[in-house]
Amino acid sequence: MDKRQLVSIATEARDLSYSPYSHFAVGAAVLCNDGTVFCGANVENSSYGLCMCAERNALYNALMHGKSSEDFEALAVVADTDAPVSPCGACRQVLSELFPSQKPIYLANLEGNIQETNVEELLPFAFSGDDL
Ligand code: THU
Could you read off the pLDDT of 57-109 as tens digits, one per residue? 999 999 999 999 999 999 999 999 999 999 999 999 999 999 999 999 999 99
Please give the C-alpha separations between residue 53 and each of 25, 48, 58, 78, 92, in angstroms, as whole numbers: 10, 12, 9, 12, 11
Identify the residue whose C-alpha is closest to ligand 1 atom 13. Answer: 24
Instruction: Please name the residue ranges forming H helices in 20-101.
Output: 54-63, 89-98
Q: What is the pLDDT of residues 14-39, one digit of tens each?
A: 999 999 999 999 999 999 999 999 99
CATH code assigned at 79 = 3.40.140.10
2-6, 50-54, 126-130: lowest mean pLDDT where? 126-130
β-sheet with 26-32: strand ranges across = 37-41, 26-32, 72-79, 105-109, 114-117
The whole-angstrom separation of Cα 18 and Cα 32 is 25
Which residue's CA is the nearest one to ligand 1's atom 9?
53
Catalytic annotation, residues: 55
Predicted confidence at residue 114, as pLDDT, reads: 98
Residue 56 domain boundaries: 3-131
CA angle 64, 12, 53 (to 5 degrees): 50
Which atom of ligand 1 has the smallest separation from the CA of 53?
Answer: 3
Number of domains in the chain: 1
